[in-house]
Amino acid sequence: MADAESTVALNIGSQQISMAVFDQAKNGGLVLKKIETTSILADPAAEMARLAQVGVAVGDLAKNLKVGKTGVRYAISGQSVFTRFIKLPPIEEDNIDQLVAFEAQQHVPFPIDEVIWDWTALEASGIEKEVALVAIKADQLNEINDTIKENGLSTVQVDASPMALYNAFRFNYPEEQESVLLIDVGAKATNLIYIEGSRVFTRSLNIGSAAVTAAIAKEYGISFAEAENQKVTNGLVGLPGHTEQLDEATAGLASTIRNALTRLPSEIARTNTYYRTQHGGNAPSKAYLAGGGANMPYLREFLEEKLRLPLEYFNPLANVSIGKGLDTDALAPLAHTLGELVGLGLSGIGKARLDIDLVPGSVQSARDTARRQPFLVAATVILLLGLGGWAAYKVKATNMAKSQAAAMEVEAGKLTPAANKIKSLGNDARSLSNVGMAYADAQLQRQRWAEVINELKTQFASNSVWVTDFQPLVGNEKGDPATGMPVVKNGFPSTAYGASSLEGKLEGNINAVRIVGFWRKGQNTGDQNAVNKIVDKLRKQNKGHFNLKKGDNKAMSDGEIFEVLNNNIENPDELGASFKLVLPLAEPISRK
């Protein structure tokens, strides 16, 4: 179990998930006590299963570190958050919260009630104030937080990866005052953190090591997992004059990796210009490399060549003490990937320069309850004191109540017949209400049929198409016109008076209609595609009664909607061809 005063830090990267336990040193510094890392495959095709993979990874890390049911501070990737650096006019501190809230509504590209956001003040050299604003979609954060809770962990703080990295850098490189650039290469994104004295600016690029894996998979026609294995075991970044010394297979792989990374230094150079021109910063004099993607051989040399900057690996453990039992030699190759954990550990001991906390809805509710708890305790004490005096009064009042209860029983006996009659009338009223609701529902279903038929009438308004049969279906499967059972019996016009024309043994509601007809051959070439045009118009209906999309939200093809029953339209002796359409309903209709 982690000690009560320990900080449990969790970094949820796109591919690497890591967890660590920190303590505060006697001198006020930070001590790394335990650490575990694991990886998940950042395959874009498996994005739907990502949260489940994260949940399994977090559960395994918590079990291995024996942290039990404790509170964690975790960081989410810079790609998932929206960050803005906003300059404010010189105002009183009491009014800054209101002004930042106003600015948040102007800068966040989503309705403010759909996001969770926080801000932190930055050191400013002039009279203007500057803040860093960080926001994330509420449903996205709540999904991540639910995954944390499912593993028995509670949330203490949610930080953004770039802010945690900045805190780790400032703690470990306090002497660095010139403009420097921290390049954090992740699986799906690369975070750029510009640090210049007290100035900070961040930007997330949509380029990461997963793009390299995808390029290898495409070049060699292999799966994403196989490409990832090739990148890790045999991959390196090709350098000028270097590939000639490699065997043909390795040289080809190195060239593919270099080509996939070409856009990264270009975007970094473009952001350097933006930082200088729009934020008044100076060009970086050196750069530091961090993140799991930085493990790629010769990436540092490649970026040095392209950026023309001296570049070294970021060491977030430079000023962090290593606890007993940890292998420092084993930690050294991983050090540049642990910046977020160190930043979170610093927040745990109150040494973070930037303080961001994106509070999920459930966590905020728990905090509000805890904040009210002292007042509830005080109220309980007052209530108990009052109960002592009230108990004495109650004894006296009880005797009086007994005599009053006896008198009330006599009155109740007199009112019982009237109460029974009222109860009976209430039952009758409920029965009538149920019958009325049934009639109303039947009328609603009848009205929907009229609307469906009216829509078909509008769409089938063509001189080239005739409808010969219309049949509601039960149990139709989208994309398979052959499925579904007709609701109306064959030969229903001859059904005896009073008998039902509906099939009685079917189960479920009507979910499609089948239309049979024919279209004529005409001089106009458009006549030959008349049915296809009708289907295309039905597809484009935004709020119609038909839904011609499959479960993956892709439009159904013509072949999944209709078939030609007798295609003699090319025969000069024939006037047309017959067809059958099966149109799924957007909302099923009751058979009753």
User: Which tens digits make up the pLDDT trace of 393-433?
Assistant: 676 767 677 778 777 878 777 788 887 888 888 888 888 87
Could you give the CA distance from residue 172 to residue 358 in angstroms, rounded to a whole number?
Answer: 25
Confidence of residue 386 (pLDDT cuts 50, 70, 90): low
Q: What DSSP character marks residue 302?
A: H
Residue 350: pLDDT band by 50, 70, 90 thresholds?
very high
Most confident of 31-35, 45-49, 83-87, 324-328: 31-35
Given this model, what pLDDT does residue 375 score? 59
385 pLDDT band (50/70/90 cuts)?
A: low
Please tell me whether residue 505 adopts helix, strand or coil conformation.
coil
Looking up tokens 């320990």, which residue turns up? 6
Section 296-305 average pLDDT:
95
Q: Which residues pair with 182 in a beta bridge?
A: 193, 288
Q: Name the CATH topology of 1-173+318-359.
A: Nucleotidyltransferase; domain 5 (3.30.420)
Which tokens go with 283? 């060009």
pLDDT on residue 326:
92
Confidence of residue 470 (pLDDT cuts 50, 70, 90): confident
Tell me, what's the pLDDT at 587? 86
Kindly list the distances between the CA atom of residue 5 and the CA atoms of 64, 128, 201, 309, 345, in Å, as whole numbers in the listed order. 19, 38, 32, 42, 12
Greater confidence (198 vs 401) lies with 198
pLDDT band, residue 217 (cuts 50/70/90) = very high
Strands (DSSP E) found in 382-480: 465-474
pLDDT higher than 80, residue 579: yes
pLDDT at 62: 94
Model confidence band, residue 391 (pLDDT cutoffs 50, 70, 90): low
Domains 1-173+318-359 and 175-314 share a fold: yes
pLDDT at 390 over 70: no
φ and ψ at 72, to 5 degrees? -125, 150
Q: Pairing between strand 154-160 and 71-76?
A: parallel
Averaged over 323-330, what is the pLDDT?
90
Q: What is the mean pLDDT of the chain?
A: 86
Q: What is the pLDDT of residue 477?
A: 85
Asked if 503 contacts 471 with a C-beta cutoff of 8 angstroms, the reply is no
**Mean of the pLDDT values across residues 492-500?**
77
Q: pLDDT per residue over 527-565, tens digit each?
A: 667 888 888 888 887 678 888 888 777 888 888 888 877
**Quick one: how far is CA 418 from the chain centroid?**
60
Is residue 125 over pLDDT 70? Answer: no
Of the listed ranges 92-101, 265-274, 275-284, the least confidently predicted one is 92-101
367: Cβ contacts below 8 Å, ≥ 6 apart: 359
**DSSP three-state, residue 379:** helix
Phi–psi pair at 314, nearest 5 degrees = -75, 135
Nearest by Cα to 160 from 281, 42, 13, 373: 13
Task: Return the amino acid letter for 482.
Answer: A
Identity of the amino acid at 308: R
Q: What is the pLDDT of residue 393?
A: 66
Higher-scoring residue by pLDDT: 193, 526: 193
- pLDDT of amino acid 379: 55
Q: How much is the pLDDT for 482?
A: 79
| Phi/psi-derived region of residue 484, left when phi > 0, alpha when psi is between -120 and 50, beta in every other case | left
Task: Answer yes or no: is pLDDT of 181 > 90.
Answer: yes
Dihedral of alpha carbons 154, 161, 263, 299, sign: negative
Residue 584 predicted with pLDDT over 60: yes
d(CA 377, CA 194): 48
pLDDT of residue 521: 66
**pLDDT of 572:** 64
27, 21 contact by CB (below 8 A): no
Would you say residue 377 has pLDDT above 60? no
**How much is the pLDDT for 114?**
92
CA distance linking residue 86 with residue 389, whole number of Å = 59
Residue 441 confidence class, pLDDT cut points 50, 70, 90:
confident
How does residue 257 score in pLDDT terms, banded at 50, 70 and 90?
very high
What band does 242 get if pLDDT is binned at 50, 70 and 90? confident
With 60 as the cut, is the pLDDT of residue 87 above it? yes
Decide: helix, strand or coil at residue 545. Answer: coil
Of residues 285 and 532, more confidence is placed in 285
285 or 504, which is more confident? 285
Lowest-pLDDT choice from 28-32, 120-124, 208-212, 263-267: 120-124
Where exactly are the structural domains of the chain? 1-173+318-359, 175-314, 460-589
Does the pLDDT at position 203 exceed 90?
yes
pLDDT value of position 172: 96
How far is residue 271's CA from residue 213's CA, in Å, rounded to a whole number? 24
Tokens representing residue 146 in the block: 């639910």
pLDDT (0 to 100) of residue 204: 94
Q: Which whole-number Å values give the CA distances from 241 to 212, 251, 255, 296, in the listed order?
A: 21, 11, 12, 18
Mean pLDDT of 492-513: 80
Residue 311: how many other CB atoms lie within 10 Å = 19
Higher pLDDT pick, 321 / 88: 321
Q: In the CATH scheme, what is the homologous superfamily, with its name and number, of domain 175-314?
A: ATPase, nucleotide binding domain (3.30.420.40)
Residue type present at position 330: A
Pair type for strands 7-12 and 71-76: parallel
pLDDT of 150: 92
Band of the pLDDT at 373, cuts 50, 70, 90?
A: low
pLDDT recorded at residue 412: 78
Cα three-residue angle 588-590-592, rounded to 5 degrees: 165
